């Protein structure tokens, strides 16, 4: 059993695994070279040779404990037939939502569109047999936000304005649960050792809607995937103190905390569940002293606790690769 899996499945605190969200991609010069030649981001994610190569790039540089597949959560709307493109300076832009057509999408239709993801995972697993390979998916609520809003939401996102037809929305939510579960199971079949579910916009939900749109759908997915006996990390970003209720209702195998969560509070209140991440990615843009101080804070708080060193969100594009190496070395020395 590899170290990341051991930390989660056996709550083993004797070794401190380290990897970074968005470690494969935008801040690495070798990725930028590939990206210039491949301007269509969705097509790049669906090029299994290049996706595998990009996934492995940070492992070659930093010898991290896990490789997360180079992909995107919006491949699920794409697989369901909604147009998805990434525009410079705008981020993701999605086409019109034809709910009735999406509800008719079969598992076979979906898999035909996204199968290169699974081929990429197999290639990575073959080349990195000693490392944990992480597959991932967006959570139903977060995908629903993108699909209904057709772009990234703003802070003043109006939940009730976007959800105009609640009956149809519930049908779409159920469809997403099925397709996400299918996508996760196919990634596990291809060789993924661990799965992370990103609920990036969980913090936009009103408290009285958390159970319906956040907790329950994620719990259903874990139940559908659990028979595969692979650990699932959940990242419900922006929930604040509701992280405690999330863990109680959803029962993830590991919880990834964002940078607004006090790590000491998390350790005290999340009932011994393995914890991942927390450090603010902006810290990586500061000098070495500031970085060292923050890294050591997390290491001290989680000493003797099943903890995976990571960030509270993805690596920022302006991060220097040397900073990732510096942090990795700091963590390794403290083991």
Give the mean pLDDT of the chain.
95
Given a cut of 80, whether residue 335 has pLDDT beyond it is no
pLDDT band of 87, cuts 50, 70, 90: confident
**C-alpha to C-alpha distance for 189 and 187, rounded to whole angstroms:** 5
Phi, psi dihedral angles at 282 (to 5 degrees)? -65, -25
Provide the pLDDT for residue 28.
98
The answer to whether the beta carbons of residues 242 and 255 sit under 8 Å apart is no
User: SS3 of 72, please?
Assistant: coil
For the whole prediction, is pTM greater than 0.85? yes
70: left (phi > 0), else alpha (psi -120 to 50), else beta?
Answer: beta
Q: Kindly report the three-state secondary structure assignment for every residue of 112-162.
A: HHHHHHHHHHHHHHHHCCCCEEEEEEECHHHHHHHHHHCECCCCCCCHHHH
Over residues 267-316, the pLDDT tens digits come to: 999 989 999 999 999 999 999 999 999 999 999 999 999 999 999 999 99
pLDDT digits (tens, 9 = 90+) for 67-80: 999 999 999 999 99
pLDDT tens digits along 170-218: 999 999 999 999 999 999 999 999 999 999 999 999 999 999 999 999 9
Strands 232-235 and 194-198, by their bridges, are: parallel
In this prediction, residue 156 carries a pLDDT of 72
> In this structure, how many other beta carbons lie within 10 angstroms of the beta carbon of residue 135?
26
The mean per-residue pLDDT over the stretch 208-234 comes to 92
Inform me whether the pLDDT recorded for 158 exceeds 80: no
Full set of structural domains in the chain with CATH: 3-334 (3.20.20.210)
The predicted pLDDT at position 310 comes to 98
Residue 1: predicted pLDDT = 59
Q: How far apart are CA 205 and CA 200, in angstroms?
A: 11
Other CB atoms closer than 10 Å to residue 251's CB: what's the count?
A: 15
């Amino acid at each position: 059993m590899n170290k990341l899996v051991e930390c989660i499945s056996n709550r083993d605190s004797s070794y401190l695994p380290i990897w970074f969200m968005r470690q494969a991609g935008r801040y690495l010069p070798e990725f930028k070279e590939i990206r210039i030649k491949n301007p269509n981001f969705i097509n790049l994610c669906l090029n299994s040779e290049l996706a595998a190569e990009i996934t492995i790039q940070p492992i070659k540089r930093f010898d991290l404990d896990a490789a997360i597949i180079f992909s995107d959560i919006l491949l699920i709307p794409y697989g369901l037939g909604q147009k998805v493109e990434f525009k410079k300076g705008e981020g993701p832009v999605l086409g019109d939502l034809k709910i009735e057509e999406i509800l008719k999408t079969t598992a076979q239709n979906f898999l035909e569109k996204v199968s290169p993801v699974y081929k990429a995972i197999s290639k990575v697993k073959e080349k990195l047999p000693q490392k944990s390979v992480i597959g991932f998916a967006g959570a139903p609520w977060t995908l629903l936000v993108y699909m209904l809003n057709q772009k990234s939401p703003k802070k003043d996102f109006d939940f009730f304005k976007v959800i105009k037809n609640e009956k149809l929305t519930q049908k779409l939510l159920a469809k997403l649960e099925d397709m996400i579960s299918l996508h996760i199971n196919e990634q596990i079949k291809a060789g993924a050792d661990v799965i992370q579910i990103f609920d990036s916009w969980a913090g936009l939900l009103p408290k009285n809607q958390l159970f319906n749109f956040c907790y329950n759908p994620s719990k259903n997915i874990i139940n559908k995937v659990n028979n595969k006996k692979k650990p699932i990390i959940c990242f419900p970003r922006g929930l604040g103190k509701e992280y405690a209720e999330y863990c109680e209702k959803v029962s993830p195998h590991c919880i990834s905390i964002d940078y607004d969560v006090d790590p000491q509070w998390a350790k005290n209140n999340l009932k011994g569940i393995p914890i991942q991440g927390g450090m603010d990615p902006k810290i990586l843009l500061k000098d070495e002293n500031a970085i060292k101080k923050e890294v050591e804070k997390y290491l001290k708080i989680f000493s003797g606790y099943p903890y995976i060193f990571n960030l509270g969100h993805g690596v920022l594009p302006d991060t220097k690769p040397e900073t990732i190496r510096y942090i990795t070395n700091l963590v390794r020395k403290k083991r």
